[in-house]
Structure 1
Amino acid sequence: MAIVHATDQTFEKEILKGAVLVDFWAAWCGPCKMIAPVLEEVDAEIGDEVKVVKVDVDNNQVTASQYQIMSIPSLLLFIDGELKAKTAGFMPKEDLIDFIRQY
């Protein structure tokens, strides 16, 4: 499955079904740039288990505000539209996969 870039308008539709990992990020954020290739690896490795969605906080402030994103990158895990877990900061691939598979 390919990584999806969601907007304020498309966000709700993207998180409704199955397991969805949402990355709240910004182009100017160093740790966001570090985690981007990790998210691509996660998508390649377990994309059949979890959909990866990216939300640019600068361009989608309504959604970022709705989920009280205070630091980036923030990773939120949704199962069938329900927020199950939230973490912030860089995470190695193995830790990120463990984080996802807890739920």
Structure 2
Amino acid sequence: MSNAVITATEQSFDALTANATKPLVVDFWAPWCQPCLRVSPVLDALAEERPDAVQVAKVNVDENPGLARRFNVQGIPTILRFDGGKETRRVVGALPKATLLAQLGLNA
């Protein structure tokens, strides 16, 4: 995981979303999930390449099941975009980089 990516927990999540001053992309994942591991480098690169435009956080669903339930995450990876503290977009599954960024509204 990139140093630019935030690890979010049940304890830190609400403050993270409330205090975000730019779009926040949250990846709900697990270390045993192969599709999650394919998406991870794309999100790491996004955090590294566009730190002024977007913030990236990851939530391990095994360690934070309450957040997964709260956001009705039924399959992983599930990637949510938050703007102004509210969920504005949702992508489920491992998609190619261009498709993922387009569905998250983060085209270059």
Q: TM-score with structure 1 length normalisation?
A: 0.91
**How far apart, CA to CA, are the structure 2 residues paired with 1:100 and 1:90?**
13
Higher relative contact order (CA 8 A, sep 6+): 1
- Unmatched 5+ residue regions in structure 1? none
Q: CA RMSD in A?
A: 1.4
Deviation at 1:95, TM superposition (A): 2.1
Give 4+ residue runs of structure 1 displaced > 6 Å after superposition: none
Deviations 1:44-102 (A, max 9, x none): 22221110000000000111100000000000000010110111011222222223336
Equivalent residue pairs, number: 102
Aligned to 2:12: 10
Q: Is the 8 A contact 1:43 1:51 kept in 2?
A: yes
TM-score by length of 2: 0.87
Aligned equivalents of 2:30, 2:104: Cα separation in 1: 22
Q: Which runs of 5+ in 2 are unaligned?
A: none
Asked if structure 2 preserves the Cα contact closer than 8 Å seen for 1:21 and 1:77, the reply is: yes
Partners of 1:99 and 1:47 in 2: CA distance? 19
Residues 42-53 of structure 1: matches in 2 within 5 Å?
Answer: 42-53=46-57
Residue in structure 2 matched with residue 54 of structure 1 by the alignment? 58
